[in-house]
C-alpha cells in the first residue's frame, strides 16, 4: 500500500463494485453452490434433493476409481512439472550463455505459449495416432507396440509429452528473465572463484534462481491440474474409456456425463481447498519477496 493515499469514503467502493459484483455472482455464488451441493444427494432429474451430510465426501474419497485418478493426477503433475521445469532451465541456461542468435532462440522457444491446449492435443493426436503418427512408427520400429487410446500407459505417455511441450515456453521465459537479472558483477566474481561451469551454476546462479523456480513450481502444479484439460479431452477424443484422466477431468465427467451432482460438487470442493492452500503459500511467499527486494 502507498504511504500517501486518497481519503474518500465512497469513491473506492464505486471503483470496486464491478469487480466485486462479478466475483460475487460468478465466483462466490457457484463456489457456495458447490459447497452446498456437496452435502446433498440430488435425483438425476433435479426434482428433489436430500441432505446426506458427509456421504458424498466419504463415497468420493473411498471410491476406488477416485483413488486411482488421484494417484494418477499426483504422478502426472509431478512428472509434467519436473520435465517442463528441467528442460526449460537447461534451455534458459544455454540461451543465456550464447551471444549469437540469442534473440532468435528466445522467439523459437517461447512462441508455443500462444497455442491453445486443445490445439496442442490435436498435434499430439497426429504425432501419436495409430494410423498416421510418426511417433507410433518409430516406437514400433524399436519393438514398442505403441497404442494411443488403447493402452493406459501409452496414452499417459502421450499426455505427458504434449503437456510438457506446451508448458516449456512459460518456464523458459521466467528462467531466462531470472538469469538475466543476475548482476554482471556477481557473475564475474563467481567466474574468478569457481571456473568450473556446472559447479558455478549450482552454487551461484541456481540459488539466485530459487525464488523463480518456486514460483514456477506452483504455476506448473496448477497448470498440470487444470489447464491440461483441453489436451486430455482432445487426446482421448472426448471418450476417455479406460484411459487415464486427471481429477479435474473426473469432476467434469461425473458432473456432466454421469449426472452425479453431489459427488462432482464434493470433488470440486476438495480441489478448491487444495488450490486455496497453494494460493496462500504462493501469496505469503510473494509478499515476502516484495518486502526484501
Partner 1 sequence: MTDITTAIAQPPVRRRKIRWNRVFDHVILILGSMFMLLPVVLTLLTSTWDNVTIHTGGIQYSIGEDAFRNYQKALFEKSGFSQVVDGMKMMTNSLILGLGFAIGKIVISMMAAYAIVYFRFRFATFAFWIVFTTLLLPLEVRILPSYEVVQSLGLLNTYTGLIVPLIASATGTFYFRQFFKSVPEETLEAARIDGAGPIHFFFDILVPVSQTMIAAIFIIMFVYGWNQYLWPTLMTTDENMFTLVRGIKQIMQVWIGANIPDYGVAMALAIIAMTPPVLIVILFQNWFVKGLVESEK
Q: Is 4 in the site for partner 1 (CB under 8 A)?
A: yes
* DSSP symbol at 47: S
Q: Is 153 in the site for partner 1 (CB under 8 A)?
A: no
78, 132, 138, 189: which one binds partner 1 (CB under 8 A): 132
C-alpha cell at 46: 433435479
Span 159-198, contacts to partner 1 by CB under 8 A: 165, 168-170, 173-174, 177, 197
Closest CA to 181 of 136, 144, 212: 212
Closest CA to 170 of 100, 91, 102, 94: 91
Span 91-110, contacts to partner 1 by CB under 8 A: 91, 94-95, 97-98, 100-101, 104-110
Closest CA to 162 of 127, 210, 193: 127
124, 148, 163, 243: which one binds partner 1 (CB under 8 A): 124
Span 232-261, contacts to partner 1 by CB under 8 A: 233-234, 237-239, 248, 251-252, 255-256, 261
d(CA 213, CA 80): 15
Task: Please name the helix (run of DSSP H) or strand (run of DSSP E) that holds residue 51, with its range, or none.
Answer: strand 49-51
Q: Is 90 in the site for partner 1 (CB under 8 A)?
A: yes
d(CA 99, CA 106): 12
Residues present in the chain in total = 293
User: Least distance in Å: CB of 87 to partner 1?
Assistant: 7
- x/- mask, partner 1, residues 69-88, rule CB under 8 A, reads ------------------x-
Span 195-224, contacts to partner 1 by CB under 8 A: 197, 212, 215, 218, 222
Amino acid at each position: 500500500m502507498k504511504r500517501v493515499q486518497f481519503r474518500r469514503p465512497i469513491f473506492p467502493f464505486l471503483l470496486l463494485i464491478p469487480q466485486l459484483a462479478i466475483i460475487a455472482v460468478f465466483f462466490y455464488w457457484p463456489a457456495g453452490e458447490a459447497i452446498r451441493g456437496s452435502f446433498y444427494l440430488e435425483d438425476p432429474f433435479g426434482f428433489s434433493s436430500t441432505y446426506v451430510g458427509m456421504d458424498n465426501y466419504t463415497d468420493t474419497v473411498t471410491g476406488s476409481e477416485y483413488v486411482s485418478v488421484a494417484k494418477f493426477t499426483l504422478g502426472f503433475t509431478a512428472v509434467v512439472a519436473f520435465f517442463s521445469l528441467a528442460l526449460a532451465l537447461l534451455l534458459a541456461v544455454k540461451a543465456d550463455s550464447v551471444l549469437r542468435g540469442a534473440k532468435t532462440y528466445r522467439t523459437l522457444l517461447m512462441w508455443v505459449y500462444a497455442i491453445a491446449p486443445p490445439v496442442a492435443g490435436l498435434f499430439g493426436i497426429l504425432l501419436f495416432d495409430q494410423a498416421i503418427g510418426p511417433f507410433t512408427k518409430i516406437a514400433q520400429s524399436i519393438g514398442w507396440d505403441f497404442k494411443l487410446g488403447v493402452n493406459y500407459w501409452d496414452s499417459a505417455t502421450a499426455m505427458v509429452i504434449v503437456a510438457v511441450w506446451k508448458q516449456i515456453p512459460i518456464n523458459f521465459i521466467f528462467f531466462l528473465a531470472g538469469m538475466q537479472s543476475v548482476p554482471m558483477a556477481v557473475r564475474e566474481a563467481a567466474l574468478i572463484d569457481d571456473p568450473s561451469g556446472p559447479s558455478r551454476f549450482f552454487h551461484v546462479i541456481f540459488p539466485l534462481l530459487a525464488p523463480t523456480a518456486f514460483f514456477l513450481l506452483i504455476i506448473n502444479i496448477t497448470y498440470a491440474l487444470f489447464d491440461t484439460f483441453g489436451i486430455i479431452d482432445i487426446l482421448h477424443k472426448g471418450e476417455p474409456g479406460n484411459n487415464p484422466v486427471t481429477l479435474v477431468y473426473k469432476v467434469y465427467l461425473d458432473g456432466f456425463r454421469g449426472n452425479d451432482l453431489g459427488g462432482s460438487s464434493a470433488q470440486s470442493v476438495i480441489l478448491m481447498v487444495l488450490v486455496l492452500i497453494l494460493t496462500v503459500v504462493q501469496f505469503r511467499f510473494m509478499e515476502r519477496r516484495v518486502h526484501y527486494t
